[in-house]
Structure 1
Amino acid sequence: MSYTVPKPATYVQTATERVHMAKSAAEAIAGEAGLLDARRVFMLVSRSLNQEIDEIKKIIKALGPCFAGLYEGMPAHGPRSAVLDATATARAMGADLIVSVGGGGSVTDAAKVMTLCLKHNLKTHEDMEPFHMFVNEDGAVINPGFEGPDIRALCVPTTLSGGEFNTPSGATDERIKLKQGYEHRLMAPIAIILYPAITRHTPEWLWLSTVVRALDHALGGTFDAPHGYTSCVMAPFALAFNESVNGERQRRISAALGQLQEAARTNPRPIDKAEQVVDFFKTVL
């Protein structure tokens, strides 16, 4: 068996300090508020969770006098206007901790961007312009340097997007229909609460669609389409396009699915491999 020596690499740890499991969201959030000495906890929550079940009420009760306020109904892809509106509410409430309960592409990302807006007192679209990442004329991704947030976020995810574990956060400039990234090490949530019981209320289509993510943010922000849908449709074509530069890594995916020495797409129809992957997951789910 051949073995390829990995290239030297460095992993920079995020500023997330704790991941809670096997605790209710109410218990874990109240515990974090006490640990962080947070006296004004502001919540950003899914509208359906807030209006249809009692989980949010349990959290508010557990926080007691530390509960400062709540913003519900962040739209998909985190439009700038909604993020700024939520930030304005949190600012008026004197928030010292932002807690998100909801999906990654909207609620989680918005909470992380809110911490940036609070730190730098961002109130308008124009205020946000100097802070988002961009691609320069040479094709390099530029992340503007700025001071990180003082007020941190705490995230309770209800989907499988995984955005809570990353520092990059997105907000969509709805004026140009473009989702833009904002990144600072301290924008990662200080704590993450993995509470499986709350995910029972996530719609099945949303839960399953968040399993696959590739070109979701860019296409979803442009066409107002759910992330998972655009990912599933575009993934095989993206794999085919990138095979010349990452074919070896694609073969590792294929090996994991029982297709040794084969890239993760198949000539002449890359969609065939996507169909094989779907069939594979049907056998294990």
Structure 2
Amino acid sequence: MRSGVHRFPRQDRVVFGRPAASALVEEADRLGCSRLLLVCSPSARASSYVDKIAGALGDRLAGMHFEMLPHSPRECVIGAADAARAASADLIVAIGGGSVIDACKLAQQVLWLDLDREEDLDRLPKGIDPDRSADLANASGALVRSIAIPTTFSGAEFTSFAGVTVSSTRVKEVFDHPLQVPCTVILDPEATIGVPNWVLMSTGIRAVDHCVETFCSPASLPYADAMAVEALRILLETLPKLKAHPLDLNLRLQAQLAMWLAILGPSGGVPVGASHGIGRVLGGAFGVPHGRTSCMLLPSVLRWNAEANAERQRGLGERVGHPDRPLAQVLEELVEALEEPTRLRQAGLGESDLIELAERSVASGFLSGNPRPVRGTGDVMEILRLAW
């Protein structure tokens, strides 16, 4: 008999298909917040979209912070918390992709616990907390929460865990707390307009990765299965159309909605596999954008896992209209159609880098949820050679 537990994140609302400027004002009023800090990447300094949101806030705007870097370095987490303190902010608004949103998620804990140094993060528990049991017994600050306005399709805004990189070692750590999840997500398709097309396409494949590794997980859940199938169906149809018609706001919204459905498995406690596990290391240690790690790894991980879950892979392919071809082939062709890289060497990795990547991946502890057990560096090298 199948059994399991699906855990819902402590997220109040998802507002979609509306301009973020007006939606954010309404959410601030609903939450009783009057001092909002906007947090973005440096490239957003010249963004008319961010200016529009700032202007709509009026005297609710407490400050703007443009120092968030890729892969959420620890120093950016502390920097965002320091900016919130300096502005006396009672709400953090993350505008950006997964790196901005993850850093803001952990910055909340930094504020709650009154931490002020990168080393202080070592006091926090690491890893995903499946029981959402973390408490704030030691909290000394106000419970400042966040709202996310995502500009990509990575899905970080729907999870309670945050991936953060230690710059000195290039090791990515995961911090989880049930209240880290943004209390509100605003899906405004206009927010994605200024983002390079390759970022949208590759993070679209990241959403595909969430669907596939959720459905193919040995610990999959019925609710998550249904969401993954519907999300993958939409993404397979929408992403090529969006590639051809990049200014179509309805297509952008459809991709956003599919991204939301796609992440409901991981956010509900379904463990993901080696594509995500190796990808976290590939991003943190080698600087490869997370969307592109999925482009290069997912088909090869599926091929390596087929020994353990070929039937499950076939079942997913059948449900999304591809009953006669291997799922790995279908997805590899999708990546190629989006003109994204399918090989690790296209990211500039040399053969000598593969051993380091394999060793770091095994040491990371991120591979425990893979359908086919990963028993050591040799197994990871087999996957990497398939992806090379």
Q: Place the TM-score, normalised by the shorter chain, in its bin.
A: 0.7 to 0.9
Aligned twin of 2:323: 260
Q: Distance in 1 between matches of 2:89 and 2:283?
A: 31
Query: CA distance change for structure 1 residues 245 and 117 in 2, over 3 Å: closer, same or farther?
Result: farther
> Which is richer in strand?
1
Aligned twin of 2:82: 88
> Residue 118 in 1 paired to residue 130 in 2?
no
> Residue 152 in 1 paired to residue 163 in 2?
no
> Residue 14 in 1 paired to residue 9 in 2?
yes
Match of 2:155 among 141, 157, 162: 162
- Give 1:232 deviation, angstroms: 1.2
Aligned twin of 2:65: 71
Q: Distance in 1 between matches of 2:132 and 2:3?
A: 23
Aligned twin of 1:251: 314
Query: CA distance change for structure 1 residues 193 and 274 in 2, over 3 Å: closer, same or farther?
Result: closer
Where 1:192 maps in the other structure, the secondary structure is strand
Matches of residues 130-141 of structure 1 in structure 2 within 5 Å?
Answer: 130-134=123-127
TM normalised by structure 1 equals 0.83
Q: Distance in 1 between matches of 2:56 and 2:134?
A: 38
Contact residue 77 and residue 217 of structure 1 kept, 8 A: no
- Give 1:194 deviation, angstroms: 0.6
> Residue 26 in 1 paired to residue 83 in 2?
no
Aligned twin of 2:301: 238
Where 1:175 maps in the other structure, the secondary structure is coil
Aligned twin of 1:128: 121
> Residue 62 in 1 paired to residue 119 in 2?
no
Q: Quick one: which amino acid aligns to residue 33 of structure 1?
A: A
Q: Quick one: which amino acid aligns to residue 122 of structure 2?
A: E
Query: CA distance change for structure 1 residues 274 and 26 in 2, over 3 Å: closer, same or farther?
Result: closer
- Give 1:264 deviation, angstroms: 3.2
- Give 1:45 deviation, angstroms: 1.5
Q: Distance in 1 between matches of 2:334 and 2:9?
A: 32
Count residues in correspondence: 265
Match of 2:289 among 203, 208, 226: 226
> Residue 183 in 1 paired to residue 179 in 2?
no
Aligned twin of 1:100: 94
Q: Distance in 2 between matches of 1:45 and 1:65?
A: 19
> Residue 209 in 1 paired to residue 220 in 2?
no
Q: Quick one: which amino acid aligns to residue 23 of structure 2?
A: A
Q: Quick one: which amino acid aligns to residue 133 of structure 1?
A: K
Q: Distance in 1 between matches of 2:25 and 2:301?
A: 43
Query: CA distance change for structure 1 residues 131 and 262 in 2, over 3 Å: closer, same or farther?
Result: farther
Q: Quick one: which amino acid aligns to residue 28 of structure 1?
A: A
Worse-superposed segment, 58-67 or 108-117: 58-67
Cα deviation code 1:26-71 (max 9, x no counterpart): 10111111111112111101333331x3222222222222211111
Q: Quick one: which amino acid aligns to residue 52 of structure 2?
A: K
Q: Distance in 2 between matches of 1:221 and 1:132?
A: 19
Q: Distance in 2 between matches of 1:76 and 1:252?
A: 36
Query: CA distance change for structure 1 residues 204 and 276 in 2, over 3 Å: closer, same or farther?
Result: closer
Q: Distance in 1 between matches of 2:205 and 2:56?
A: 35
Q: Distance in 1 between matches of 2:188 and 2:180?
A: 21
Aligned twin of 1:268: none
Aligned twin of 2:191: 198
Cα deviation code 1:210-239 (max 9, x no counterpart): 012343322111101111222211112222
- Give 1:280 deviation, angstroms: 7.7
Query: CA distance change for structure 1 residues 241 and 191 in 2, over 3 Å: closer, same or farther?
Result: same
> Residue 37 in 1 paired to residue 94 in 2?
no
Q: Distance in 2 between matches of 1:164 and 1:199?
A: 14
Cα deviation code 1:105-137 (max 9, x no counterpart): x111111111111111222222101324249xx
Worse-superposed segment, 69-78 or 54-63: 54-63
Q: Distance in 2 between matches of 1:185 and 1:143?
A: 6
Contact residue 127 and residue 175 of structure 2 kept, 8 A: no
Query: CA distance change for structure 1 residues 251 and 277 in 2, over 3 Å: closer, same or farther?
Result: farther
Cα deviation code 1:133-165 (max 9, x no counterpart): 249xxxx99988342881111000000001111
Q: Distance in 1 between matches of 2:130 and 2:15?
A: 33
Where 1:70 maps in the other structure, the secondary structure is strand
Contact residue 42 and residue 67 of structure 1 kept, 8 A: yes
Identity %: 33
- Give 1:22 deviation, angstroms: 2.8
Q: Distance in 2 between matches of 1:31 and 1:141?
A: 33
Aligned twin of 1:269: none
